[in-house]
């Protein structure tokens, strides 16, 4: 499974980053809005972050 963040609905809460067992989610941009991105090389597609 390929995971990416939908910025149209993401509220930048950071919960996905906290639960990722692979530390595959990192900050992408801080201003004007805090955004995260998935690092494809680290993501195993486990789905833990989806909820
Ligand atoms: S699918 Fe799993 S490994 Fe990939 S970003 Fe989400 S929690 Fe991390």
Q: What is the pLDDT of residues 2-43, one digit of tens each?
A: 899 999 999 999 999 999 999 999 999 887 788 999 999 999
The helix (H) or strand (E) run that includes residue 12 is none
**Range of the structural domain that residue 9 is part of:** 1-45
Q: What is the pLDDT of residue 31?
A: 79
Does residue 21 belong to any structural domain of this protein? yes
Q: What is the pLDDT of residue 33?
A: 81
Does residue 14 belong to any structural domain of this protein? yes
31 Cα: distance to centroid of ligand 1 (angstroms)? 24
Does residue 50 belong to any structural domain of this protein? no
Nearest atom in ligand 1 to the alpha carbon of residue 42 is 3
1 Cα: distance to centroid of ligand 1 (angstroms)? 9
Q: How many domains does the chain have?
A: 1
Find out whether 27 and 14 touch, Cβ atoms under 8 Å.
no
Q: What is the pLDDT of residue 42?
A: 97
Give the gyration radius of the chain's Cα atoms: 10
Q: What is the pLDDT of residue 18?
A: 96
**Whose structure tokens read 């939908």?**
6
CB neighbours (10 Å) of residue 31?
Answer: 6
Does residue 37 belong to any structural domain of this protein? yes
Q: Which residues line ligand 1 (CB under 6 A)?
A: 3, 20, 22, 24-25, 38, 43-49
């Amino acid at each position: 499974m390929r995971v990416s963040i939908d910025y149209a609905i993401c509220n930048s809460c950071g919960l996905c980053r906290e639960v990722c067992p692979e530390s595959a989610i990192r900050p992408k941009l801080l201003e004007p809005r805090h955004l995260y991105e998935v690092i494809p090389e680290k993501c195993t597609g486990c789905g833990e972050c989806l909820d």
